[in-house]
A and B are shown apart, each in its own frame.
Chain A
């Protein structure tokens, strides 16, 4: 069974800093990997989806990379803002029609 782990569990940075969130997965036979944002009491918002044949995806200040061979993905956030404060989840799809979620990284951006 796919295990997805995220490090660190929590991260606090000053506004304007660039940061990297890490995600690792045990089974490299994935179809794709998604990064989500979860705000307290709210649902999950899909930020980026990287297909297994891709190396990275970019959306605005966000850049996600995927290295299947090492079982790792990173989410890079440039010029962080207080509005980026949330929990970030990665999730892999391994062929079955469901997602395996990581434990999440709780990000706080301090003004």
Chain B
């Protein structure tokens, strides 16, 4: 069964460093998402991406964050200058046609900012 894959599974970085989280969505899906979950808190929406541009973003997704689909398969989330409060599990998701259908989530990248 097709699945969303995320790498790395764990990432440890120093405060102020840049990190790139990588995702390979399901191949025939058109909508891509990043969500995050801080330990003990709700899963929160960060950004949605369709047709090579951001279609929606939350207030969390400030100028420190950016997303890119550099080729036909990868979808990346970049955090320019990490802060302690960026420590969280980051989930990538994809969907054939938006939130009117089921979202398929990857297993996540646990980001720890020291």
- A45 CB contacts on chain B under 8 angstroms: 105
The total of chain B residues at the interface (CB under 8 A) is: 27
Do most interface residues of chain B lie in helix, strand or loop, or is the interface mixed? Answer: strand
- B100 CB contacts on chain A under 8 angstroms: 31-32, 51, 93
- Given A43-B4, A97-B31, the answer on whether A32 and B99 have CB atoms closer than 8 Å is yes
Q: Which of B40-48, B70-78, B79-87 contacts A (4 or more CB under 8 A)?
A: B40-48
- B56 CB contacts on chain A under 8 angstroms: 96-98
- Given A97-B31, A97-B48, A98-B58, the answer on whether A46 and B102 have CB atoms closer than 8 Å is yes
> CB distance A44 to B105 under 8 Å?
yes
Could you write out 13 A-B pairs with CB less than 8 Å apart?
Answer: A31-B100, A42-B108, A43-B106, A43-B108, A44-B91, A45-B105, A51-B100, A96-B56, A98-B33, A98-B48, A99-B45, A99-B103, A104-B42
